[in-house]
């Protein structure tokens, strides 16, 4: 990466990059309730407009649950819907937490996640319980959730919104994400970007390969 010496800001994705995510676990959970085609509505690469709206905060958790109840044709409780929806959320291995801490000594480290108001408290609880970190946002110099800022990747406005709040120059920022459409969006917005192909390596291996820690 020829531009690496000029990089002073790292912008990281959350799902797949830091926290393990299994999208099919949610599809399976809803399938257990009789809705067999959930994966046609939601996946990492393609989402129904319902999910896009939920990720930008245009749809509230209550509205989201009601829409899902309508799609499923079942009177499911909020708790049951949340449990299925959160089934995709995995864990953050301790070595990735350590990696972020080490990166923070050399770079401004920011987080930008396409997420929603049901997932946020769920993964923050996972990190508190399993990693002993009560304030997940404190891991980064800045933490941004799409549902809170009303913007989502791969739109250029989402990247610029985050960088402007930290005085970060897109030309000196490296973005890392496991979704190629987000990587392409970042490049179009003027950032350097690397596609983390999870079948080949994880974030720790990528950081080492790129020599980001020397």
Helices (H) and strands (E) in the chain, counts: 11, 5
Task: State the pTM of this model.
Answer: 0.91
Q: Which CATH number fits domain 4-21+91-210: 2.60.40.10, 3.40.50.300, 3.40.50.1000, 3.40.50.720?
A: 3.40.50.1000
In whole angstroms, what is the distance from residue 55 CA to residue 164 CA? 21
| Average pLDDT over the chain, rounded to an integer | 92
The candidate with the shortest Cα–Cα distance to 204, out of 20, 81, 72, is 20
Cα dihedral angle (3, 206, 113, 152), rounded to 10 degrees?
50
Could you write out the three-class secondary structure of 8-25?
A: CEEEECCECCCECECHHH
Domain ranges across the chain: 4-21+91-210, 23-88
What architecture does CATH give domain 23-88? Answer: Orthogonal Bundle (1.10)
- Site of tokens 């396409």: 114
pLDDT digits (tens, 9 = 90+) for 9-40: 999 999 999 999 998 899 899 888 888 777 77
């Amino acid at each position: 990466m020829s531009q690496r010496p000029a990089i002073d800001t790292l912008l990281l994705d959350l799902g797949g990059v830091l926290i393990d995510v299994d999208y099919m676990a949610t599809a399976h959970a809803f399938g257990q309730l009789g809705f067999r085609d959930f994966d046609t509505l939601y996946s990492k690469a393609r989402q129904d407009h319902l999910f896009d709206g939920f990720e930008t905060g245009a749809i509230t958790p209550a509205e989201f649950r009601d829409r899902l109840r309508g799609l499923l044709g079942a009177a499911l409780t909020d708790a049951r819907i949340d449990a299925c929806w959160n089934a995709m959320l995995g864990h953050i291995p301790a070595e990735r937490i350590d990696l972020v801490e080490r990166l923070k000594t050399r770079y401004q480290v920011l987080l930008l996640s396409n997420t929603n108001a049901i997932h946020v408290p769920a993964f923050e609880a996972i990190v508190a319980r399993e990693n002993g970190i009560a304030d997940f946002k404190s891991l980064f110099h800045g933490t941004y959730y799409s549902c809170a800022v009303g913007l989502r990747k791969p739109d250029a406005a989402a990247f610029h919104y985050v960088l402007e709040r930290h005085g970060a120059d897109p030309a000196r920022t490296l973005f890392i994400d496991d979704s190629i459409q987000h990587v392409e969006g970042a490049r179009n917005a003027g950032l350097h970007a690397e596609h983390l192909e999870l079948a080949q390596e994880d974030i720790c291996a990528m950081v080492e390969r790129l020599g980001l820690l020397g």
